[in-house]
Amino acid sequence: MATDDANVAVTLGFVPASLAIDDPDHPGLLRAGPRASAPYDRGTIEPHRCDSTDWYQDSNVHPDLVDFGFDSVDLSGFDELQQVLATVRAAGRIDDEEATAIRAFLDGAVLPCSSGRHIKVLHVAGEGFIMRKSGPNAMPVVGPRSIGMNDHGAATSVHIDQDVYGTPLTQVMDGRAPELFRHHSPDGANDDAGLMLVNLWIPLQQITQPLVLADGRSIDRRRHQLRYGLATQSFLERDEDMVINDIWTLLHDPDQHWYLRSDMDHRSAYVFDTLSTPHSAGTLPGEDVAEQCYRWLEAAEEAVGAGDTTALTALAAEPLPALPLDAPPALRDAIAAMLAVADEARRDPAAVCGPQAEAWSASAQAARNRVIRMSLELRMVVSITP
């Protein structure tokens, strides 16, 4: 049943309208100007609070891959896959063996969608298998450069992952991608094909920085969708003529409709149209408080690890934020857990720095870990059934 809590004002990043320019190669369409930031950079981004529907809290919402451009799939019945995903979650990293196993489990699988559709996986792409991590309030928790599949941050602005008329699909598919795949773009659409190029986005845990997706029917593609050339040398190995990946960035418009799920783990995953669906990580109400608590506990753990009662006592004198009532339930619970661990240290710094140090530090690390978003993503070709 729908509730008031299902309406969430999530913050998303967009390209500023001042950076949209006419596209000389596609008259009548737009592209992002040279000062526009890539969707994973922290440069020129314009934040907007966007009304969104929390699909987790509204059982009346039934997005569909064909109509909306996204859906969720149930992975809970794939026992061996779940074991591998649990291992990756615990480690906070993925290795080649685990990635190979996940690809093997998915190749040829028939995945049940929440809308009642089924999709059959015909091909799992060899490139683009990535693990992303982000802290609350877009707090970085990985370094500035990714290493293979790992150490990728969350998206910082809304984008669409691939231009069906651009690189590398033009080269790889000899220009046939627009006729083979369903898609909607400023250049045209294909509603008849039985194949889709999709992203499978698997949350290992996600109560902050949720993936937020647009209902494609609410996007004015010719007015708000901008071509962008994304350099891929730092995270993909490609031939020289394919190192610039043709994608799309977006301008904000209040008529756009957005959806998220405020609490997910790897028992379910998003599947969305790689060629058409705008998406990004978003910031939920209360994530600023989660970041403050995270940083307080991190500093307290350092003091406890050094046995520095004086430093912990000084930290204990600092006020902590109140529990945010507008945060989604899962995030509110996680913040409450961090505040409870912090209160323990504030009440008795000497004991926490002494005999209780090991147990308290373990509790603090576990509480902080809950608000780290970790996700896996990979690309697949699927066939669609009713």
- Each of the 386 residues of the chain gets a pLDDT tens digit; together they read 344 678 999 999 999 999 999 999 999 999 998 888 888 888 889 999 999 999 888 778 889 999 999 999 999 999 999 999 999 999 999 999 999 999 999 999 999 999 999 999 999 998 889 999 999 999 999 987 777 899 999 999 999 999 999 988 988 889 999 999 999 999 999 999 999 999 999 999 999 999 999 999 999 999 999 999 876 544 445 455 555 789 999 999 999 999 999 999 999 999 999 999 999 999 999 999 999 999 999 999 999 999 999 999 999 999 999 999 999 999 999 999 999 999 999 999 999 999 999 999 999 999 999 999 999 999 999 999 76
Q: What is the pLDDT of residue 154?
A: 95
Contact 251, 31 (CB under 8 A): no
Strand, helix or coil for residue 13: strand
Q: What is the pLDDT of residue 251?
A: 98
Rounded to a whole number, what is the distance in angstroms from the first to the last CA of the chain? 25
* C-alpha distances out from residue 258 to 49, 55, 162, 236, 333, Å: 11, 10, 20, 30, 24
Q: Which residue bears the tokens 């970041």? A: 291
Q: What is the pLDDT of residue 241?
A: 54
CB burial of residue 277 (10 Å; 0-12, 13-18, 19+): buried
pTM of the model: 0.94
Task: Report the DSSP pairing between strands 118-124 and 183-185.
Answer: unpaired
Q: What is the pLDDT of residue 126?
A: 85
Q: What is the pLDDT of residue 237?
A: 55
CA 26, CA 360: separation in Å to the nearest integer? 60
Q: What is the pLDDT of residue 234?
A: 46
Q: What is the pLDDT of residue 235?
A: 47
Instruction: Give residue limits of the domains in the chain.
Output: 4-283+371-385, 287-369
What are the start-end ranges of the H helices in 69-149?
79-91, 96-106
Strand, helix or coil for residue 82: helix
Contact 28, 180 (CB under 8 A): no
Contact 90, 205 (CB under 8 A): no
Contact 205, 261 (CB under 8 A): no
